[in-house]
């Protein structure tokens, strides 16, 4: 099939998914902070529990680790596009609720600039997503009964461009530059069952745009059939260069308050390691920390807490060069553990994932399927528990664009 025609078909299909989507998430916990955070990993690595910092492959574009781009083949253009379907189940004061969402996950590309010494990647990925609608009932001394209703939508998107350099045969450096933009709206209403009591509402609107950088490094060494990669990433704490917040409170009168340039992104650091045997078996482990404790949120610190995340993943392929189709299929499995960065939530999130890499004409061109399950326990002081099941589908396409065909 013609490559350009293939892209048109895939893009059209994913745009249809995106057009159908209302929000990228339906998670009650996304009402805290900037919403549900995205780790910006390709579909293949999400099937491995969300590892990536120590992953280095010529078959995947890995925006989470900018040092990995030089792993691409010296004459290959890579293109990756993904969409997802999300089923969420959670309980509130009115019983269980079920939500179904569809969304365009990301679009990325990658190609070498100078053999395997310098490579470039660019794309569009989400940073965070807000999407929720639930209610909680409470009372005051059994005299007044009221209902809190929470709803919100929006999120932040980022466009990135990244460079990677091999400074020697076993060390690579990389940097991503991001332009972030987006907005979110959150609404909270209080309604009393007693008609003598007057309710209230609060609406918050936040819009941002800003630049930021991520730095990456990888050490890699191959001895015989064994390859070991050790990687790390770092982002400095940074204030949004342009942010605007409006709050409207309604009681007896409407009041409007505004706040500009009062929000920051946290310092982030992480490390990962992977081991590969004969391009058949890969085992990887990641750790990442976002230090939100000293990050300004409404121009205040210590209102959020550090988010830590661990991930463990496995990939197996029987024979990458095998004649049988099943021999070339990638089988992936993983798990992860993290905590919320919201002070009001003290229950961690557990996740399991599995997936497959289905090769098309070559082992370098694959359809990746990933199923992710996540469980979040009850939020502090709020009887909410949440289960989410997400199906992610991507087309990771590789084509030899940088050589002249003989006539």
Question: For 88-110, what is each residue's pLDDT tens digit?
Answer: 988 765 667 888 888 889 999 99
| Average pLDDT estimate for 325-332 | 94
Q: Is 45 helix (H, G, I), strand (E, B) or coil?
A: helix
pLDDT for 33-92, tens place per residue?
999 999 999 999 999 999 999 999 999 999 999 999 999 988 889 999 999 999 998 876
Of 340 and 172, the structure prediction assigns the larger pLDDT to 172
pLDDT number for residue 20? 40
Give the gyration radius of the chain's Cα atoms: 23
Whether 343 shows a pLDDT value over 70: the answer reads yes
133 has which bridge partners? 151
pLDDT number for residue 251? 66
Tell me how far apart the alpha carbons of residues 105 and 82 are, in angstroms, rounded to a whole number: 5
Torsion sign over Cα 319, 335, 84, 44? negative
Q: Give percent of the chain with pLDDT exceeding 70.
A: 83
Q: How confident is the model at residue 348 (pLDDT cuts 50, 70, 90)?
A: confident
pLDDT number for residue 272? 98
Tell me how far apart the alpha carbons of residues 254 and 69 are, in angstroms, rounded to a whole number: 52
pLDDT for 242-259, tens place per residue?
998 988 886 655 767 888
Are 88 and 98 contacting, i.e. CB atoms less than 8 angstroms apart? yes
Torsion sign over Cα 38, 39, 42, 47? negative
Residue 35 has phi, psi (to 5 degrees) of 100, -160
Q: Is 70 helix (H, G, I), strand (E, B) or coil?
A: helix
Of 135 and 14, the structure prediction assigns the larger pLDDT to 135
53 has which bridge partners? none
Torsion sign over Cα 14, 84, 240, 208? positive
Lowest-confidence segment of 55-59, 63-67, 199-203, 282-286 by average pLDDT: 199-203
81 has which bridge partners? 107, 395
Q: How confident is the model at residue 380 (pLDDT cuts 50, 70, 90)?
A: very low
Whether 12 shows a pLDDT value over 70: the answer reads no
pLDDT number for residue 21? 41
Of 295 and 402, the structure prediction assigns the larger pLDDT to 295
Tell me how far apart the alpha carbons of residues 60 and 45 are, in angstroms, rounded to a whole number: 9
Which residue in 51, 36, 123, 72 sits closest to 398, CA to CA?
A: 72
pLDDT number for residue 34? 94
Looking at residue 1, the DSSP 8-state letter turns out to be -
pLDDT number for residue 381? 46
Q: How confident is the model at residue 124 (pLDDT cuts 50, 70, 90)?
A: very high
Whether 9 shows a pLDDT value over 60: the answer reads no
Pairing of strands 171-192, 254-260: unpaired
What pTM was computed for the model?
0.88
pLDDT number for residue 196? 57
Torsion sign over Cα 325, 75, 118, 105? negative
Tell me how far apart the alpha carbons of residues 26 and 318 are, in angstroms, rounded to a whole number: 38
Are 341 and 290 contacting, i.e. CB atoms less than 8 angstroms apart? yes
Tell me how far apart the alpha carbons of residues 118 and 125 are, in angstroms, rounded to a whole number: 22
Of 407 and 260, the structure prediction assigns the larger pLDDT to 260
Tell me how far apart the alpha carbons of residues 304 and 7 are, in angstroms, rounded to a whole number: 42
DSSP per-residue letters across 355-381: EEEEESSSTTSEEEEEEEEEEE-PBTT
Q: Is 188 helix (H, G, I), strand (E, B) or coil?
A: strand
| Average pLDDT estimate for 212-224 | 97
> What b-and-e string marks burial along 348-363, b requiring 16 or more CB atoms within 10 Å of the CB?
ebebebbbbbebeeeb
Average pLDDT along the chain: 86
Whether 15 shows a pLDDT value over 60: the answer reads no
Distance (Å) of CA 139 to CA 34, 143, 150, 290, 388: 29, 7, 17, 37, 30
């Amino acid at each position: 099939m013609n490559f350009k025609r293939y892209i048109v078909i895939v893009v059209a299909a994913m745009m249809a998914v995106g057009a159908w989507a209302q929000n990228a998430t339906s998670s009650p916990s996304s009402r805290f902070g900037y919403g549900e955070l995205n780790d910006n990993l390709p579909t293949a690595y999400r099937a491995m529990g969300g590892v990536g910092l120590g992953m280095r492959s010529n078959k995947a574009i890995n925006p989470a680790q900018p040092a990995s781009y030089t792993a691409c083949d010296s004459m290959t253009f890579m293109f990756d596009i993904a969409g997802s379907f999300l089923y969420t189940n959670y309980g509130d004061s009115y019983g269980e609720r079920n939500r179904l969402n569809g969304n365009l996950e990301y679009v990325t590309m990658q190609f070498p600039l100078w053999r395997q010494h310098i490579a470039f990647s660019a794309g569009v990925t989400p940073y965070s997503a807000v999407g929720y609608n639930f209610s909680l009932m409470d009372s005051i001394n059994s005299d007044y009964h009221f209902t809190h209703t929470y709803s919100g939508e929006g999120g932040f998107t980022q466009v990135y461009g990244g460079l990677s350099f091999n400074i020697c045969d076993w060390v690579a450096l990389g940097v991503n530059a991001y332009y972030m933009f987006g907005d979110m709206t959150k609404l909270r209403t209080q309604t009393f069952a007693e008609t003598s009591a007057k309710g209230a509402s609060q609406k918050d609107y936040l819009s941002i745009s800003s630049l930021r950088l991520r730095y990456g490094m990888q050490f890699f060494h191959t001895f015989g059939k064994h390859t070991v990669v050790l990687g790390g990433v770092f982002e400095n704490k940074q204030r949004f260069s342009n942010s605007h917040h409006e709050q409207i409170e309604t009681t007896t009168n409407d009041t409007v308050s505004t706040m500009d340039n009062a929000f920051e992104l946290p310092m982030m650091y992480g490390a990962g390691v992977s081991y590969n045997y004969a391009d058949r078996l890969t085992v990887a482990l990641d750790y990442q920390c976002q230090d939100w404790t000293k990050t300004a949120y409404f121009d205040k610190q210590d209102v959020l807490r550090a988010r830590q995340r661990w991930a463990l993943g496995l990939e197996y392929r029987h024979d990458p060069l095998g004649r049988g189709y099943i021999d070339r299929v990638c089988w992936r499995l993983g798990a992860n553990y993290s905590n919320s960065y919201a002070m009001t939530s003290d229950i961690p999130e557990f996740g399991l994932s599995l997936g497959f890499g289905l090769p098309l004409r070559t082992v370098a061109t694959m359809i990746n399927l990933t199923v992710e399950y996540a469980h979040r326990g009850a939020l502090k002081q709020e009887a909410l528990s949440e289960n989410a099941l997400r199906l992610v589908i991507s087309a990771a396409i590789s084509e030899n664009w940088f050589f002249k065909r003989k006539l």
